[in-house]
Every structure is written in structure tokens, then in C-alpha cells.
């Protein structure tokens, strides 16, 4: 019995150490690896699609776009955006297209800013319809 217990404890300790390593490395890689330098990137799911197969969109020179048939992509991706990486020196302005009312600025992402989960911002998750650069 003591042998089994210590084996389990060792396994748990190894698993914990491995998980700790992954967590410690995540902030640096999350901000850069999935989104090339100078680009801004949109993700369907939280945490930049980590562990999911959601869509992502990477843009460099594109000044604006609609999530319905977005530039260099296709399909209606409105009301799906959940995380953003801005790996450039511009400001990303993301809007909700409101019918019969002024469109709402959902989030303004500053240069080199990351938004791991739009669900942390009331009304912002799965609501983005279009974006503009340096225009909010
Ligand atoms: Ca989403
Ligand atoms: Ca919307």
C-alpha cells in the first residue's frame, strides 16, 4: 500500500510540474507564437483557440473588414469572435453592427495588446461584426 501511494504521489508531482511548466510558458508564447510580428489576429474561441479547432484570421496590411466573408477568408463569422492578439503598433477597433442604433464599439485593443477572452467584457463575446484599424 505505501508503495502504491508514493507512486501515485510521484505521478501527481510529475504531472503538476509539467502543468506548471506549460502555464509558465503560456503568456509569452500566447502573445507571439500564434500571431506573427506586425500582425493582428482574431480567434473564434477563447485563449487564441488553444485546444480547439476554431477559425482564426491573421492580418497585416488590412485596414478594416467584416466578419461576414472577411478579407482572404469566407463564410459568415459574425457573432463568433472570442479572443484577439494585436502584435503590431496599431489600435484595433472591433464593433457590433447594431440595427437602428449607433454601432457599438465592443473593444479597443491597443498596440501589442492581447484579449484572451472577450467573455470577460460584458456584451462583447460572440458579438463582433466588423473592425477598423486606428479609427476609434
Ligand atoms: Ca466564440
Ligand atoms: Ca453582432
Residues 49 and 100 in one domain: yes
Closest ligand to Cα 49: 1
User: 131 C-alpha to center of ligand 1: Å?
Assistant: 16
Q: What is the pTM of this model?
A: 0.76
Q: How many domains in the chain?
A: 2
Closest ligand to Cα 128: 2
Confidence of residue 24 (pLDDT cuts 50, 70, 90): very low
Confidence of residue 27 (pLDDT cuts 50, 70, 90): very low
Residues 101 and 67 in one domain: yes
Confidence of residue 30 (pLDDT cuts 50, 70, 90): very low
- Nearest C-alpha neighbor of 84 from the set 26, 136, 45: 45
66, exposed or middle or buried, with CB in 10 Å at 0-12, 13-18, 19+?
middle
Quote the domain boundaries for residue 16: 1-33
Closest ligand to Cα 127: 2
Determine the pLDDT at residue 33.
Answer: 55
User: 69 C-alpha to center of ligand 1: Å?
Assistant: 16
- Nearest C-alpha neighbor of 39 from the set 81, 89, 75: 89
Amino acid at each position: 500500500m505505501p508503495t502504491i501511494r508514493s507512486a501515485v504521489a510521484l505521478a501527481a508531482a510529475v504531472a503538476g510540474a509539467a502543468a506548471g511548466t506549460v502555464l509558465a510558458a503560456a503568456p509569452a508564447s500566447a502573445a507571439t507564437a500564434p500571431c506573427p510580428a506586425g500582425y493582428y489576429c482574431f480567434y473564434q474561441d477563447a485563449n487564441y483557440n488553444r485546444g480547439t479547432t476554431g477559425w482564426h484570421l491573421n492580418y497585416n496590411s488590412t485596414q478594416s473588414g467584416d466578419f461576414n466573408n472577411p478579407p482572404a477568408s469566407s463564410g459568415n463569422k459574425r457573432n463568433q469572435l472570442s479572443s484577439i492578439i494585436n502584435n503590431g503598433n496599431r489600435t484595433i477597433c472591433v464593433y457590433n453592427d447594431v440595427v437602428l442604433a449607433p454601432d457599438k464599439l465592443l473593444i479597443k485593443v491597443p498596440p501589442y495588446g492581447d484579449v484572451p477572452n472577450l467573455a470577460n467584457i460584458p456584451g462583447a463575446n460572440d458579438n463582433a461584426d466588423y473592425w477598423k484599424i486606428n479609427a476609434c
